[in-house]
Every structure is written in structure tokens, then in C-alpha cells.
Structure 1
Amino acid sequence: DKSLDKKFEPVFDYTVYADVVDINGETRTGETTVSAGYKGLMLSTAIPTQVTLDSLKSLTILTQNMNGEFEPAQIEVGISALKIEQRLLRPRFWERPESQVLSKEEYTRRFPHDIYAGEDDWENWEKEKNVYTAKDSARTKGEFPLKGARLPAGYYEILVTAKNEKGEEAKDIRYIEIVDEKASQLLRPQYLWSRRSESIKPGETTSIQIGTSAPNVYLVKEEYREAKKGQKQDRFGLQVTTTQQTLQTGKTSFPITATEEDRGGFGITAFMVRDNRFYQFQDRIEVPWSNKDLQVEFKTFRDKTLPGSDEKWSVRIKGNKSEMVAAEMLASMYDASLDQIVDHDWNRPYIWPYLFATRSWDPGANFKLENAERWEKDEEEKYLVKQYDELINLANTRGGYEMKSMAPGVGNARAMEKMTVNVLDAKFSKAEDITASEGYYNEDGDGVTDTTKMIQNPKDIPPPSIRKNLQETAFFFPDLRTDSEGNIEFSFTTPEALTTWKLQTLAHTKDLAFNQS
């Protein structure tokens, strides 16, 4: 398309279709997409926007042609430090103006905490100096090591340049923040900075971190849990504990220790007001029901079996702390191809409570409570569907066969899920004897017809064994129980179908600990 300017580097996609007829007269159809452009080098990078100190060891840089294949090229990486904006900026109430009447100096003097242009976005900051440069050849998997790179905490621009043998060049610019987790002060001025908690078990301690660059900030923090019977609760059924604290500049850590009563999790909301702006932080403290998990280990297991083989498998069940438990297990194995019709999976029942409630505040109307949502998962509806056998509908037959349904295909492939052939008073004539021609492909592939000694007496050929056990379910054991050592053994005979088998287990104890696999 000559109407497109070359400087925009347009890419044109073409679809190629091909039909091939083999020696048997069967047609195979295929298609592919070919991309063409004015430049045959494509550059892509996978660089995180934030990393911790001393963890930036390498980058992922891929050079490819228009069709996604590896393109050899020389890579140059330049890393430049950015000049951090030192003003404490609050978010806009309006859209960024297209032009400014006041100069930046006059604007910041009158409005010291408001954004003038785009200085709140660190991708717009000025570059101070180049701090690292490296050159290397592109690799097929994209690894680009940063040898000797020791960058301090800060904000950086990464410029990647690639050039292939034809002299074609491609560039990509990325921005990255390197964080020092042990630092007590914030890397750049912010009204509210936070770091969320980690999942913990009862008796363990985690912490949330809240930081600010503004002095003497009054912070209100709420912890809310599902209220127990007899406890004081709000109108949403939550028990809320509120505390206040004055924060100084820097990071403040709030340690949190979970108890058994906290299983299912609880929430935290913290908010503050500064320079006529409202700031809020929300987090969920995850305290999972890990004490209701079981470990299932297959001591004997085979991922490949022979048709009709006798199998004896052994399973060991342990508690979440590897302790001995008495458990019952449901196990089954069936033809995995049935999942193409309807997926079938067992799931752990929803029994133990989980806190889904959230609380948030709105600065309007003297800080009213904006919303709180209490969500409880409903128990899955149980119902039974019984299907009875029915006669084949002969009225729907077409030319001696009946099309039941069409399964979705992929690409140009056409797949039919099921076909039933109805032969109605068909008469067949005996075929005449014919002589087969020499095969196109010979035994050694040299183009010369080979001679093979044939067995003269057909009676010497043993008759093939006919597979009879073609059932779709290999086994179904609803109440396997552990012995005194937590072991379960069961035996079965593999059906003779040549297929992939799907094994499922669901184990549980009397105190409703589960494992599903």
C-alpha cells in the first residue's frame, strides 16, 4: 500500500492457502500467514517495571523477523538514571490543560503541591547521566546478561538498540524502578505509599507497611472480621476495631499476628487527609484453612499401562503437617476422551467460611461510609438428571447414515463427533478378484522392488486376538479407607481400549479435611 508512509514502518499480512492431492487422491488443505514490511527486524523486550535491589541480573530481549523467527542482530543496552521530582504532588481534580499561562516557576510558587505538566509521571523525568552500557549478540531465547551492573535504588530509563546484518535498526525504551526494601525513607515524595501483607497461618506474624513524605499525618486504621455470635457488629455484620496514629515521614510497619479465629481471613482499611486530598489503603490478610488440607501421595502409580493388564496401586494419605490420619477416599478412572463431550471434575465442597467483605470510605459529606459488601457463596444446587434409552429416529437418516452432531474444529480441520450408520435392506455384490500393483515405497526406499518371502500356508498365521473389554470406566471405588498406617491399596484390570485414562481422587476425614486431585 503505497499510500502509507514508510516512516511509520507499516506491516502487511498475506494469507497463503494450499491444497495438496496425494497419490491416493485425498486432498489436504493448509494455510499460513506471511508478513512483509519495509524493515525485516522486529525488537521486543520483557523488562519488569519494578525490581528489588541487586536482583537486576539480566534482561529478556528478542530479535525476530516479520514472521516471528529469530533474526541475528547486535544488541546495545544503555541505562540512564532519571532525575527524581522532589515536590510532593497531589492528584488533579481536572484534566491536564493543553497549554499553560503561568511559567513553571510561578505556578509552583502559587501551587506548590499541584502538577504543572507531566512531572507526576516518572517516564517524563529528565535523564541525569548514563550509568551502564553493554553490547552483545542476540540469543534465540532472549537472554541478555547485565555483567557488572550494580545500580543503586532509583528510577532508570533502559534504551535497547538492535541492528541486523543488513544494517536495519530497531529501538525500544523501557522504564524501571529499583527498590531498596530495607530503606526507611521513600524513594520519591508521595502522600501515601503502601506494601501489602503476605499470607500467614495462625500463630504467624506478617505486616503491612504504610509510608508518607508529609509530616504529622493523622491515620485512621480499621480491622474488620466476620462478627461472631454475641459480638458487637456494624450493620453489615462485621466486627470493626478502629485505631488512630500520627505518622511521620518515612515508612511505618504494622505487625499483624493471626489466631485460629482469623481463619478465612480479615480485612484492613486505612485512610488519611492531607492538603485537601483523601487517601485510602485497603488490604486482605489471608489466613487460609490449611488445617483442612490433606496430602495424597501415590506410592504405586503407572502413567502407561497395557490393555488388559492387572494393576495394584497404593496411596498414602497424611494431614497437612504430615501427621497420620484416618481418611476415606473416592477414586475413579475413565476414558479421558469423554471429556470432549462434557468435562467432569470433582471439587472440594465449600464448607469453611471465607471473608469477602470490603469496607471503603468516601471524603464527601464529612467522610461518610461509602459502601460495605458482605458476600457469601451459596451452596451449589444439587439436582439429578435421568436419561432413558430411546429408539433411533429413522426419519432423520440421510443416504444411509445419520449425523448426530458436529464437534468444533480447529483451523480448516473438520471433525464429526458421532455418526450412526443405518443399513436398510442393503444388498451387496461379491467383488471381483483384482491384482495389487507394486508399492510406490519399498522396504529400503531405494526405488527398487524388493522380494519378500510369503507364508504359503495361511493356516500357519495365528489368528489375531480380538479385544473384548472396551468399557469406558476402568474402576469406580466410592469408599476406600486407610489402614493403620494411612495407606490405601486397590486393584483393577485395565480395559482393552487404546486410549488415555483420566484418574480422579477425592479424600476426606471425619473433621472435613479434603484433598482433590
Structure 2
Amino acid sequence: MALFHQQKNGDVSVVSGINLKVVIENPNSEDIQTFTVTTNESGSFSGEFNLPKNTITGEFEIFADEPDDLKNDPKYDRIADEHPFWDNVNFDDGHVSFSVEEYKRPKFEASFSPVMENVAVNQKVSVKGSAKAFAGTSISDAKVNYSVTRISYRNYLDFQRFQQEDEDEIISGETNTDASGKFTVDFIAAPDDKDRTESIYSYRIKADITDINGETHSANTIIKAGHRTLEIDSAIPDIVKTKNKNFLTLTSRNLNGQFKAVNGIFKIYFIKPFDYRFKNRTWEQPEFKTISDSDFSRLFPYEKTAVSDFDFNVEDNTEGTLVYTKKVNTGKQKDIPLDFMANYKSGRYKVVFSATDDLQNELESTQLFQILQSKEPFVQGKLFSFEQQNDNPQKDGFVELAVTSCVPQIYVMLAASRESKTFFEQQISLTGNKTIVKIPLPDDLSGDVVIGGDVVFSNDSFHEELRVSVPQEKDMIIIEAESFRDKLQPGIPESWTFRISPSDGAKTEVLASMYDSSLDQFANRNWPGLSFGSPYNYLARKNPVGFGVAEFALRGLGQHYR
């Protein structure tokens, strides 16, 4: 069963009553069947086919495409000599693949349980696995052949980039599943002869389980070990606006990704304020300065003293000024409210989270971030900026926009676009560093709105954009399972019952699919949802005023000037 839809002017709708040609291709790209289907009122169609006996195995394709002979279609317009649909649409054929293989349906599956404990080198590790039938019963007294392979990694130049070096099998053996279908693989997480304190090792455990009927399935897992037992991390928004509810998230995991609580401490450091200058240098940095930096700043107050302020993350290694310290336990509190930053000044900061693992290794995580103090009248380092003021523009019918600037008065050309079409333009005069603008929204507008502003100041042009989300109210369909079983008995009919409740009461058609999950042993299939895409949305700008430089040469002097 498939769905046939179209997209016109951004709106998606189904296509009913249209004939399509369906072609079945074998792995050699040979057509093995072709037939015609017609979409129903919901835009869907269904069909069935039988594969030829003794066919080849491999990936088969199902294609849905335009019919070959449109003139025999009842909808063909003979007067206009065209088909009202097919001759007026840019059609992308639909296709899906499926596998045809010779196989014996598996009766059971094998798996390993995750290792929850901290693992260090030279420590005994016990990895537990199990064999379980798809019918739900345990596979007891099955033969288990296992092996453990060590994979060595090296940390080069202390850049936290690990490169795989060697693989060595360190143990192999044989055991049996117990009455509950479980088994255990024990080994020592031994390092290699090139062991260093920063080394991390992965131990790949493989087990082949064979039941009393001779059916065999494999399970694999990887356990990591090193000279430390924990990894810690901190996450904070890149830009913290003090008026918003912000959080610092602290995490602590063992090397195998399992959460482990740890006592630690985090510190907040102030690194430096924002540079108030926003205008890039017009000329290159001179080899010999003729005026001092103080005179340059006085004469050109908005122009940066350097061509670029890119500092190669110097802030990461800058100590800064300690402004806050707190002890934490990640088992009791992972998300730290940042309300204590309410009165912090704008600028660049960093958070350092440190802790100690079971082996007394000192661990540390550093994150850089910026604070924008909402009480300040404007954003430092920008000529002008936008900030959305209302939470629900769709309900209000407009976007309320605060426009701020670090200079007393500028003129801003505002524009707003949806689906790359401008629906609002206005020039505003910003006096006193801030003004409020209401941008009315067209009726039935939904999706992202892009708001842009252009300013000409001090012989240069500046542009800023803000993307505002206008959520679309969607008709919800509630699907409830009233009766459902995931275990089937051979030869016994089974039925499932679902309740479908559209929010608007409209007639609804449901596409439901099922498959035997045991076939995942051979190939996993993705079951993607319906995706209709969306048009690219950008600000439809007119050609802005531009500023450049001119070059000339003085002949005979061998010099060029700009």
C-alpha cells in the first residue's frame, strides 16, 4: 500500500482517482511484472503480486510511475490534447526496495547485557549474555564459544584524538547457557606492552551460541577500560540571556556510557567584557603605526584596532576571574539553575567542572560561553540587534520586535519574509538606543518568518536577521491500541483492534504494516514516516548599499595604494 500526494504553492494534498504504472524489478534491473493501479479518495493504492518460482535472490525494487499510454486514460482531454494531471506536474517517481533471500526462520536470538560497573585496566570483568527464543522461552544448555579481543588506542599530541593501533585476542573459551538461558564471560582487562596512562582499550566480546538443534546465532559487545574509570562533561548554552531560564547540565558516566554519580565542583570564571567596537577595519594593519592606539580609539571609536579578533580560543587557557563556586553531586542534581547569574555583566565566561574518579584521577571539563545581560540597554559589539518580545505571534497576529543600538540614533530598513516572499517593509528611526516595532502577520501564516534589517553607518553597511517561529496548528489523530499481541502461534488466526480518533472528525484512512521481527537477524529495515518537505525560507533582500576600496599605483615608485 502506498500514498500518492502533491505539493503546490507550499500546500500538500493527496491525489485521488489517478492511474499509475507499477513495475517490479529484480536485482538485474529486469521488469518481472507491470500492472496499473488507481488511487482512492485518500490518495492511496494497494496491490499484490507473486514472484516467479526459482527467481534470483537479492534486492528487488517496486516503482510507481506515470502510465505509458495516457491517451487511453478516461481523464485525457482530447480537445486540449493533454492529460489534466500528468501533463501539468513535475513528477518524482516513488520506489521502495525489498530483499528476497533463502533462509530458515530463526528460533532464538542472543544478546549481551550492558556493563554497569566502572572498569579499569587489570581488573576482572564479567560480561553477562543470554539466549532467548522469539516465543519467549529460554534456550538452556546451549553451547557458547566466546572470544575476547583487545583493541588499543593511543592519544596523540594530547589533542584528545585517539587512533586505533592494534588488535590482540587475549582469551577464548567455551561454556554453556544455564536453565534460564544465561551465560557469563570472564576476563582480565589486561593492557598491552605499550601501556601509557592516557591509553584507552576496547575489549570486543563475541559469542556464538548453538542450541540442541544446531541453530547458531552470534552476539557482540564492546567494553572499554582505561587508567581512569569516569568521563565528566558540562553543557551550557553558548549564549546565556539573563532574563531567560537557563541551566548548566553536568554529566558523569563510566567509560561504557553508563551513568555514575560523582561528587564534584564547578566554577564560573569571568574572562573579559565584549569589545564595544563593531566596525571592521577599512584598511590593513600598518607595518609602522603613525598614531597610538589611544588616539586611534578616540578618532575611530567604533572601528576595531585589529583586522580580526579571532584569538584561537585563547579564552580556554585564560584563568579569568573566579565569580562563582559550588559543590555538586550528579546523582542528586544534574541540572543547575543559573538564576545566580541574574546580575552578571555581559561578556565572555567559562565554566570548569572538576571531579575525581575511583582511582583518584583528577577529571576536568571546560566550556566557554557568553552572557548577555538583559538589563543592559543594548548588545555590546553590535551596531544594532533584534529581540522578539511576544511569545505567541500567531495568537497576537503580529511579531513585537525590540530594536536596540549602541549608537544614539540610526535609521533601519526592516523587512519580513515568509517562504522567500516579502510581506512587510518599513524604515524606522531608532532614537535613544531602543524602539519597539510591531510587524503584522498575514492571515493563515504559519512556519518560520525571517526578519531582516539593513543600516548604513560610518561609510559601511550592516545587516542583521532574526528567525521567528509561527507554529502551525495541526489536526491531531489519536491512535489507541485496544487489543494487541506481539506473539503469534503457528496456524492460529490473530486480530488486532485500534481506535482512530481524528480531532476534526474527518474521514481517515490508516496505513498499517507488520513484519516478523525475527528477520532482523538477516537485515534491518528502516520504516520512515511521511515527509513532505518544506520550501527553503530566506529573506528576500533588495540589493544593499555596498562600500568598497579602490586601488591605484604611482608609476615609478613601485608602490600600490588603496
* TM-score normalized with structure 1 length: 0.51
1:90-101 to structure 2, matched below 5 A, reads 90-91=279-280
1:408 is matched with which residue?
none
- The CA deviation at 1:106 is 6.0
Alignment counterpart, residue 232 of structure 2, candidates 35, 40, 43: 43
1:40-439 to structure 2, matched below 5 A, reads 40-53=229-242, 59-70=248-259, 73-85=262-274, 87-91=276-280, 105=294, 108-109=297-298, 111-112=300-301, 113-116=303-306, 129-139=321-331, 143=334, 145=336, 149=340, 151-154=342-345, 155=347, 156-179=349-372, 181=374, 183=375, 185-195=377-387, 200-201=393-394, 204-223=397-416, 242-248=425-431, 250-260=433-443, 262=445, 267-283=450-466, 290=473, 293-297=474-478, 301-304=482-485, 308=493, 315-319=500-504, 327-336=506-515, 356=537, 358-361=539-542, 363=544
- The answer to whether the 8 Å contact 1:202/1:262 transfers is no
- Report % sequence identity: 17
- The CA deviation at 1:97 is 10
Q: RCO higher in 1 or 2 (8 Å CA, sep ≥ 6)?
A: 1
2:449 and 2:338 map into 1 onto residues whose CA distance is 45
1:184 and 1:96 map into 2 onto residues whose CA distance is 32
Q: Aligned partner of 2:453: which letter?
A: A
2:361 and 2:312 map into 1 onto residues whose CA distance is 31
1:458-497 to structure 2, matched below 5 A, reads none
- The answer to whether the 8 Å contact 1:76/1:133 transfers is yes
| Residues 265/5 of structure 1: CA separation in 2 closer, same or farther (3 Å cut) | closer
| Residues 89/270 of structure 1: CA separation in 2 closer, same or farther (3 Å cut) | closer
Structure 2 counterpart SS, 1:360: coil
Alignment counterpart, residue 204 of structure 2, candidates 4, 16, 27: 16
| Residues 192/257 of structure 1: CA separation in 2 closer, same or farther (3 Å cut) | same
- The answer to whether the 8 Å contact 2:485/2:496 transfers is no
- The CA deviation at 1:159 is 1.7
- The answer to whether the 8 Å contact 1:41/1:63 transfers is yes
- The CA deviation at 1:75 is 0.9
Which stretch has the larger CA shift, 15-24 or 248-257?
A: 15-24
| Residues 167/271 of structure 1: CA separation in 2 closer, same or farther (3 Å cut) | same
| Residues 332/239 of structure 1: CA separation in 2 closer, same or farther (3 Å cut) | closer
1:474 is matched with which residue?
none
CA-atom RMSD in angstroms: 5.0
Structure 2 counterpart SS, 1:201: helix
- The answer to whether the 8 Å contact 1:202/1:260 transfers is no
Kindly name which structure, 1 or 2, has the bigger radius of gyration based on alpha carbons.
1
1:147 and 1:260 map into 2 onto residues whose CA distance is 39
Unpaired segments ≥5 residues, structure 1: 227-235, 320-324, 368-517
1:7 and 1:269 map into 2 onto residues whose CA distance is 40
Unpaired segments ≥5 residues, structure 2: 1-152, 161-196, 549-562
- The CA deviation at 1:44 is 1.5
2:155 and 2:440 map into 1 onto residues whose CA distance is 66
Aligned residues: 345
| Residues 301/100 of structure 1: CA separation in 2 closer, same or farther (3 Å cut) | farther
User: What is the CA deviation profile of residues 90-120 of structure 1, one whole-angstrom value per residue up to 9, with x for unaligned ones?
Assistant: 2467999999998754654565421438767
Q: Aligned partner of 2:507: which letter?
A: E
Q: Aligned partner of 1:258: which letter?
A: L
2:552 is matched with which residue?
none
- The answer to whether the 8 Å contact 1:203/1:257 transfers is no
- The answer to whether the 8 Å contact 2:249/2:334 transfers is yes
Q: Aligned partner of 1:132: which letter?
A: Y
1:4 and 1:343 map into 2 onto residues whose CA distance is 38
1:298 and 1:18 map into 2 onto residues whose CA distance is 41
Structure 2 counterpart SS, 1:68: coil
User: What is the CA deviation profile of residues 369-425 of structure 1, one whole-angstrom value per residue up to 9, with x for unaligned ones?
Assistant: xxxxxxxxxxxxxxxxxxxxxxxxxxxxxxxxxxxxxxxxxxxxxxxxxxxxxxxxx
| Residues 355/257 of structure 1: CA separation in 2 closer, same or farther (3 Å cut) | farther
- The CA deviation at 1:219 is 0.9
Structure 1 counterpart SS, 2:512: strand
Q: Aligned partner of 1:50: which letter?
A: I
